[in-house]
Amino acid sequence: MYSRIRPWLFRLDPERAHAATLRLLQLVGALPPLAALVRKASALSPEDPIDLFGLHFANRLGLAAGYDKDGLAWRGLACLGFGHIEIGTVTPHPQPGNPRPRVFRLIADQALINRLGFPSRGAAFVASRLRGRRPKHLILGVNLGINKDTPLDSAADDYTALMRIFSPLADYLTINVSSPNTTGLLGLQQSAPLSDLLGQLGPHKTTPLLVKLSPDLGDIELDSALDVLLRHKVDGVIATNTTLTRPALSSPDAGEAGGLSGAPLARLSRGLVGRIYARTQGKLPIVAAGGILSSQDADAAMEAGASLVQIYTGLVYRGPWVVKEILDTKQNG
């Protein structure tokens, strides 16, 4: 069914199409009869639970941050069968992000390029969207970022404020220091700034805390970052964010600036997962994100060392039933 709808959806500007999809999913979450129909169509049998970070996940597949930035449609998205959903990236104060156009479909490559720059309605708005009814068995994460005008040496203030707001509302929190679209943010992955940041956040930690890393880290940079994560006893790592590199691409918009996601990211993301697993000897739980468009991609990420996987671009290209497809294939395969 989605293959018939997608050509019409792809006639729209990517952000308009995404907004329309979120409105539909928001409607699903708001209307119990419609939610029940979607849950029935997405039902999985059997479940494949896992315990991680002190949390019980109904299955290993989640929705990556970036899809539902402001917490508009997560209850409807939960009806698709996700074991966890990560909201955000959320910034303390509302900000518009970068000028449009800022999202580009690379259809021939099953990829996206975005230079969104953390558009966010702000922490107060998102917090209001997370209060109230929670779908049964859903693990909810919130991805935290800094405002564009926040100096990097004050980044801990933004993250701390967000932790105070969202720790009572979320099951885990993710510190985003790897978006390529916020000036200077990637520098927070370096050993000294990362250690200083986590040292300041540590006293405020009451909820499992993860850190999201870039796929573009070299071996020395990765080793240094992992030493810091282990030393500060973070609960897990998400690998990866989007990449600034450009593997061989076929689409006309391949040269646009921004972070690349989707199928071309699979090799980089899987490689980083394997490097993290080897360097930490499996001591740091890994959530694989990037290039997950099929059950084969999910299996490959877990074989590389991931305990959980997340999708985003795969949902854009494959549609809502990709969730059931990935989970049913894994659980019954």
> Where are the strands (E) in 181-281, listed by range?
209-213, 236-239, 259-262
Checking if the pLDDT of 333 tops 70, the result is no
pTM flag (> 0.95): yes
For residue 230, which phi and psi values (nearest 5 degrees)? -70, -40
Q: Read off the pLDDT of residues 138-187 as tens digits, 9 standing for 90 and up.
A: 999 999 999 999 999 999 999 999 999 999 999 999 999 999 999 999 99
Q: Are 59 and 81 in contact (CB under 8 A)?
A: yes
Distance (Å, rounded) from C-alpha 153 to C-alpha 196? Answer: 10
pLDDT value of residue 46: 64
What integer is the mean pLDDT of 294-311?
A: 97
Q: Read off the pLDDT of residues 96-116 as tens digits, 9 standing for 90 and up.
A: 999 999 999 999 999 999 999
E strand or H helix at 8: helix 2-9
pLDDT value of residue 123: 98
Distance (Å, rounded) from C-alpha 278 to C-alpha 16? Answer: 41
Q: Give the pLDDT band (50/70/90) at residue 81.
A: very high
Catalytic residue from among 167, 179, 224, 261: 179
For residue 286, which phi and psi values (nearest 5 degrees)? -120, 135
Distance (Å, rounded) from C-alpha 48 to C-alpha 41? Answer: 18
Q: Give the pLDDT band (50/70/90) at residue 330.
A: low
Structure tokens at 61: 């597949």
CATH superfamily entry for domain 2-332: Aldolase class I (3.20.20.70)
Distance (Å, rounded) from C-alpha 295 to C-alpha 329? Answer: 6
Checking if the pLDDT of 331 tops 70, the result is no
Checking if the pLDDT of 312 tops 70, the result is yes
Q: Read off the pLDDT of residues 24-73 as tens digits, 9 standing for 90 and up.
A: 999 999 999 999 999 999 887 667 899 999 999 999 999 999 999 999 99
pLDDT value of residue 43: 83
pLDDT value of residue 130: 98
Q: Are 239 and 269 in contact (CB under 8 A)?
A: yes
pLDDT value of residue 199: 98
Q: Read off the pLDDT of residues 220-276 as tens digits, 9 standing for 90 and up.
A: 999 999 999 999 999 999 999 999 999 999 999 999 999 999 999 999 999 999 999
Is residue 128 among the annotated active site residues? no
β-strand partners of 84: 62, 139
- The full DSSP string for 75-88 is HHHHTTT-SEEEEE
What average pLDDT is seen over the chain? 96
Amino acid at 287: V
Q: Please enumerate in sequence order all residues whose Cβ is within 8 A of that of 314, keeping only pairs 6 or more positions apart, or say none.
A: 262, 292, 293, 294, 297, 322
pLDDT value of residue 45: 60
Output b/e per residue, 188-215; b: 16+ Cβ within 10 A. bbeeebbbebbeebeebbebbbbbbbbb
β-strand partners of 120: 95
